[in-house]
Amino acid sequence: MNILHLLFIILLTSHFLTLNASNLDKPEHRETDQIAFIHTNIITGDGQTILYDQTIKIDQGKISAIGSFADVSIERQYQIYDMTGKTMIPGIVGVHNHLHVAGRQADARLIAKFYFAFGVTTIQTCGARDGNQEVSLAKMANSHSVPMPYILASAPYISGPSGNPNMQPEITPKQAREFVREWVEKGVQWFKVYRHIKPNVLNAITDEAHQHNAYVTGHLCSITYQEALAAKLDGFQHGWNSVSDFRDGKTVGQCNGLRTYIDELAIDHQSVKDLQDLMIKQSAFLTSTLSIYEASISHRKPIADQWLPYFHSTLIDSYNKQRASFDQIDSKREARFGRIKAFDRQFFQRGGLLGSGVDAGRFNLPGAGDLRNFELLIEAGFSVPEAIQVLTANGAKILNLSKRGQIKVGSEADLVVINGSLEKDPSLIYQQQWVIKRGRIFETQELRKNLLGKYH
């Protein structure tokens, strides 16, 4: 090949890449089978790795190649996007992401759209207000062309005396087994037990669920973590805020006793480490829900003003009425919050499987609260790759979704494109350009614009 021929090929290739890269700001929302992203930085989701100036190829909704721009060839049929200056992370996997919000009227479909508009591509709902609605919505949302996250629906909560009206009332062990079988037949794999669950009912639920390859998680009070582990509970919600093992004067099977431990017992006390090690030994996961606790601390201000445009006028009125209290310093809850964060961090550092979820409420917006969790994990001492791991790969592992949560060859192409270097500026987690669901590109700005004024 002579030098003129070689130069011609180089110029032609450069022209082709330029033409394709011009699609950057206007992605075609079509069933594109073959896409290539070039010059992108990648936080892979493994808790350590950040890759620079990479190419990602997507075929049939899955990642088929990752490598440096110089090493990965791109065939002519690929639609190419230049991602210079941007960061790509896995789609967020939320494992405490209800499709209802306490005290709010927003319906499940709207809440699902909020999650997706902030980069949450998979959710486990962690307790249903309307289980049948969730199952129905999940079937529709699990298409890659629908701008909602994939939904792993839950059965209605199972509690005991003093449960909320939307929860399964106090039941016998036999009724608990029938309840599990009923919802498994409807397609549900996740069950949530709540604060007043009775020990014999918990044992029946976990045993029956595991016989049907289903899982049980819990927001506990009547049951200690050690008792729940003996009953083979799969995971725990809210961490230090719901541990009842250290309550003074607690009665077995009752949600009672003094909570002095929550403010006084050292997080690095050997008894706390032993409990966490027992959780880890039994492969029980823990879900961090930092943003909902933060929303209860007056001086931290539950939401940033940037999210007010998404609120319905009636909710803005409610927010403004409480605004006067936002400047009152709550040093006790602030100190407790530090301990809640430290419990999550210590569990993770000891090798525990830590996931994340928003548990939206208290003006904490679905989706936006998931991103706030990322910032709060950074505040707790996690590195940027570690925090992304908690929000993505760990959530996928909790849900047994081996093809989601990481950017690696063979994974489903569920991705989020962030404008700028997340490594240098974690606050850019909100500055998302695209959310990608199994290779289909959705513009974040358009998704969010359609939600303005609708959350109520």
- Residue 404 in any domain: the answer is no
- Residue 294 in any domain: the answer is yes
Confidence of residue 401 (pLDDT cuts 50, 70, 90): very high
Domains contained in the chain, number: 2
Kind of pairing between the strands at 79-82 and 34-43: parallel
Mean pLDDT of the chain: 91
- Residue 80 in any domain: the answer is yes
Reduced to 3 states (helix: H, G, I; strand: E, B; else coil), residue 279 is helix
Closest CA to 319 of 299, 329, 305: 305
Last residue of a domain, one of 372, 398, 424: 398
- Are 427 and 441 within one domain? yes
- Residue 134 in any domain: the answer is yes
Q: List the beta bridge partners of residue 355.
A: 287
- Are 308 and 439 within one domain? no
For residue 395 the two structure tokens come to 């959530």
Q: Give the CATH number of the domain where residue 65 resides.
A: 2.30.40.10
Confidence of residue 303 (pLDDT cuts 50, 70, 90): low
Rounded Cα distance between 349 and 287, Å, is 15
Confidence of residue 25 (pLDDT cuts 50, 70, 90): very low
Rounded Cα distance between 42 and 92, Å, is 14
Q: What is the pLDDT of residue 304?
A: 66
- Residue 403 in any domain: the answer is no
pLDDT at 79 over 80: yes
Determine phi and psi for 304, rounding to 5 degrees.
Answer: -85, 155
- Are 250 and 364 within one domain? yes
- Are 74 and 127 within one domain? no
- Are 146 and 263 within one domain? yes
Provide the percentage of residues in the chain whose pLDDT is more than 90.
79
- Are 78 and 198 within one domain? no
Q: Give the CATH number of the domain where residue 235 resides.
A: 3.20.20.140
User: Span 260-276, mean pLDDT?
Assistant: 97
Q: What is the pLDDT of residue 434?
A: 98
Over residues 30-50, the pLDDT tens digits come to 445 899 999 999 999 999 999
Q: What is the pLDDT of residue 106?
A: 72
Among 184-188, 248-252, 359-363, the minimum mean pLDDT is found in 359-363
Higher-pLDDT residue of 310 and 163 is 310
- Are 149 and 34 within one domain? no
- Residue 12 in any domain: the answer is no
- Are 108 and 162 within one domain? yes
Q: What is the pLDDT of residue 305?
A: 73
Over residues 101-152, the pLDDT tens digits come to 887 777 999 999 999 999 999 999 999 999 999 999 999 999 889 999 999 9
- Are 84 and 157 within one domain? no
- Residue 237 in any domain: the answer is yes
- Are 207 and 287 within one domain? yes
- Are 145 and 213 within one domain? yes
Tell me the residue range of the domain where 293 lies.
Answer: 92-398
Q: What is the pLDDT of residue 104?
A: 75
Kind of pairing between the strands at 50-59 and 62-68: antiparallel
Looking at the chain, how many residues does it have?
Answer: 456
